[in-house]
Chains A and B, each alone.
Chain A
Amino acid sequence: GQQVMQIPQYQHVQEGEDFTTYCNSSTTLSNIQWYKQRPGGHPVFLIQLVKSGEVKKQKRLTFQFGEAKKNSSLHITATQTTDVGTYFCAGYNTGNQFYFGTGTSLTVIP
Chain B
Amino acid sequence: NAGVMQNPRHLVRRRGQEARLRCSPMKGHSHVYWYRQLPEEGLKFMVYLQKENIIDESGMPKERFSAEFPKEGPSILRIQQVVRGDSAAYFCASSPSGLWSNQPQHFGDGTRLSIL
Binding site for B on A (CB under 8 A): 30-31, 33, 41-45, 48, 50, 88, 92, 96-103, 105
Contacts and interface: CB of A to CB of B under 8 A. Distances in A.
Contacts, number: 45
A98 B42 contact: no
17 contacts: A41-B109, A42-B108, A42-B110, A43-B43, A43-B91, A43-B93, A48-B102, A48-B104, A92-B99, A97-B56, A97-B58, A97-B99, A98-B99, A99-B45, A100-B45, A102-B41, A103-B41
Contact of B102 (A50, A88, A102, A103): A50
A45 B42 contact: no
A88 B99 contact: no
Interface string B79-111: 000000000000101000001101011111110
Interface residues of B, number: 21
B99 A100 contact: no
Given A42-B107, A42-B108, A44-B107, A100 B102 contact: no
Contacts of A105: 40
Prevailing SS type, chain A contact patch: strand
A45 B106 contact: yes
